[in-house]
Amino acid sequence: MKLGRVRSVAISGVEGIVVEIEASIGQGLPGVHLVGLGDAALKEAKDRVRAAITNTASASKGSGDEAGGGAEKWPEGRITLALSPATLPKAGSIFDLGLALAVLAANTDKPSRLLEKSVFIGELALDGRLRPVRGVLPAVVAARKAGFAYVVVPLANVAEAALVSGIDVGGASHLREVLGWLRGVTVLDTVCEAVERAPVPVSPDLSDVVGQDEARYAMEIAAAGAHHLLLTGPPGIGKTMLARRLPGILPPLGESEALEVTAIHSIAGGLPEHHPLVTEAPFIAPHHSTTVTAMIGGGTGMAKPGAVSRAHRGVLFLDECAELGVKVLETLRTPLEDGEVRVARRDGVARFPARFQLVLAANPCPCAPANDVDCVCSPTARRRYLGKLSGPLMDRVDIRVRMDPPGNAALTAGAAESSADVRQRVIAARSAARERWSGQGWQTNSEVPGSVLRRGHFRLPPGTTRPIELFLRDGRITARGADRALRLAWTLADLAGVGEPSEDHVAQALMFRDRGYN
């Protein structure tokens, strides 16, 4: 009995797990048996792998290509392919290349020593070509953590794999090239094909928005502290226009944040081929007809990331939020509080990071006239329309702004302040917050637990927090709302460039929480 062993990587959530692929060639009727909790795509791999090996060997023999190893052929006998850990569910075509090399290693007397030091990732076409796959970035990170020296990926995934330092990356376009590399007669490419990179999209500028000074200031506060925001007002007032300009005033992602966001988009299949690294805050705006699965993630087998995870470290914008289903809106409550989403499916529980900044936009009523006095909706209809935004959900929204139609003078005024100017103030405020919370590992004020702000070194004097005590006594805010008001007050202080919030900052924070939603 002959045995071949190769390593690949399985994706679970946003993490990679190294998988050992074993091929055993024994006596018996010819056939291929694959075990290891594979999905439908993986069970079909045995047909793809057999065709790829057969066609590669035939083409190499016909052309006399020594690197391809024309002597390789599909072995006769009973072939058993096993992927371990056997209890780990495995999905997709990412294992094709590893399966092919395991079969060939079992069919030779002297397998290459490079097999023990390498991880192989890629989907095989029937003629042996290597096709790109999803999740390459977390797979390469897992290979590096496991101590492997090399990782081989399809050529189209090289740019993504090369984002990970500390491991040698080789790209191949055909199974023949990988076999030649294992023999030491060829060198794998380490760069992508020479294709012009697509330019990074530029966010629209905030200077386009005129006549909404309060809403613009609220956007700046929200950006400085990563606070959640609700914009209400009649249609055409500029709610969507403002929200789409929020990414333009957010600071660029740090190195670790960029890799984290890129890994999520890699699994979701949303990375451009030749410009894979996500360096700017993502902006995700699902349609109001979206489902619970599309919002938080899901699917058959192991769950895939949803909109809340693709918006990680960026903005999740829900336009016409009052038109969304109640169940869809209520699923946001846990991610808003925990910064992650846990989705249970048949093959296990997937954990995806979901520390996003929520921006809601809604009309005040179903008829939504330009002037509120022209509304024909009954009081019951108005309450029912925004009643989908439940109290527990709105308690997690820090800033609420009611936008009114601008006057004629505002529309004819000159250009307002640009996104670049606002962004500089936001970056300075976030730097102050990051320096303050660096010892605890938090990046923004919105991540700080309320207990930290109420006790110890960061507790504010009783005179400063007096407005919060009055709101609590009158029942106008909850205990969670009080904590969120404190976080917002610290952000206002950072924008003002002072060391800690004053009573005016606390009162202003409460004012932003107490209006715009009625």
pLDDT score recorded for residue 405:
81
Pair 161, 226 in one domain: no
Task: Tell me which residue range forms the domain holding 128.
Answer: 2-183
Pair 494, 388 in one domain: no
Flag whether 430 is in a domain: no
Flag whether 194 is in a domain: no
Q: Choose between 300 and 422: higher pLDDT.
A: 422
Q: How many CB atoms lie within 10 A of CB 241?
A: 16
**Phi-psi map region of 166: left, alpha, beta (phi>0 left; psi -120 to 50 alpha):** left
pLDDT score recorded for residue 409:
54
**Strand-pair partners of 120:** 152
Show the tokens assigned to 90.
């495995």
pLDDT at 430 over 50: yes
Pair 231, 279 in one domain: yes
313 near 356, Cβ under 8 Å?
Answer: yes
pLDDT score recorded for residue 189:
78
Q: How far apart are CA 234 and CA 397, in angstroms?
A: 20
Convert 25-56 to b/e letters by CB count within 10 Å (16 or more is b): beeeeeebebebbbbebbeebbebbbbbbbbb
Q: How many structural domains does the chain have?
A: 3
Show the tokens assigned to 388.
């989908």
175 near 60, Cβ under 8 Å?
Answer: no
Pair 278, 390 in one domain: yes
The domain that holds 301 is classified in CATH as 3.40.50.300
Lowest average pLDDT, out of 104-108, 186-190, 229-233, goes to 186-190
pLDDT score recorded for residue 29:
86
Give the confidence band of 54 by pLDDT, cuts at 50, 70, 90. very high
pLDDT at 58 over 70: yes
Full DSSP string of 356-404: -EEEEEE-SSSS--SSGGG----HHHHHHHHTTS-HHHHTT--EEEE--
Give the confidence band of 198 by pLDDT, cuts at 50, 70, 90. very low
pLDDT at 303 over 90: no
Flag whether 235 is in a domain: yes
356 near 314, Cβ under 8 Å?
Answer: yes
Q: How far apart are CA 363 and CA 321, in angstroms?
A: 9
Pair 252, 366 in one domain: yes
Flag whether 192 is in a domain: no
Pair 396, 468 in one domain: no
pLDDT > 70: what percent of the chain?
Answer: 92
pLDDT at 411 over 70: no
Reduced to 3 states (helix: H, G, I; strand: E, B; else coil), residue 188 is coil
Q: In what helix (H) or strand (E) does residue 96 lie, and over which residues does it extend?
A: helix 96-106
Pair 459, 401 in one domain: no
Q: How far apart are CA 250 and CA 281, in angstroms?
A: 7
pLDDT at 69 over 50: no
pLDDT in tens, 202-259: 778 998 888 888 999 999 999 999 999 999 999 989 999 999 999 999 999 999 999 9
pLDDT score recorded for residue 163:
92
Q: What is the mean pLDDT of residues 25-43?
A: 90
pLDDT score recorded for residue 82:
97
Q: How far is CA 174 from the centre of its chain?
A: 30
333 near 287, Cβ under 8 Å?
Answer: no
301 near 345, Cβ under 8 Å?
Answer: yes
pLDDT score recorded for residue 299:
76
Matching residue, tokens 């400063």: 464
pLDDT > 90: what percent of the chain?
Answer: 71
pLDDT in tens, 470-506: 999 999 999 999 999 999 999 999 999 998 999 999 9
Contacts of residue 319, defined as CB under 8 A and 6 or more positions apart, other chains included, come to 239, 240, 243, 285, 288, 361
Give the confidence band of 191 by pLDDT, cuts at 50, 70, 90. low
pLDDT score recorded for residue 68:
45
Flag whether 195 is in a domain: no
Matching residue, tokens 């205990």: 479
Phi, psi values for residue 283, rounded to 5°: -125, 110
The domain that holds 144 is classified in CATH as 3.30.230.10
pLDDT at 287 over 90: yes
Give the confidence band of 518 by pLDDT, cuts at 50, 70, 90. very low
pLDDT at 337 over 80: yes
What residue type is assigned to position 396 of the chain?
R
pLDDT at 395 over 70: yes
Flag whether 434 is in a domain: no
Lowest average pLDDT, out of 261-270, 271-280, 302-311, goes to 271-280
Q: Choose between 210 and 138: higher pLDDT.
A: 138
| Whether the bond into 461 is cis, omega within 30 of 0 | no
Pair 311, 266 in one domain: yes
The Cα-based distances of 173 to 52, 192, 364, 430 in angstroms read 13, 11, 56, 44
Show the tokens assigned to 161.
């794999």
Flag whether 335 is in a domain: yes
pLDDT at 197 over 80: no
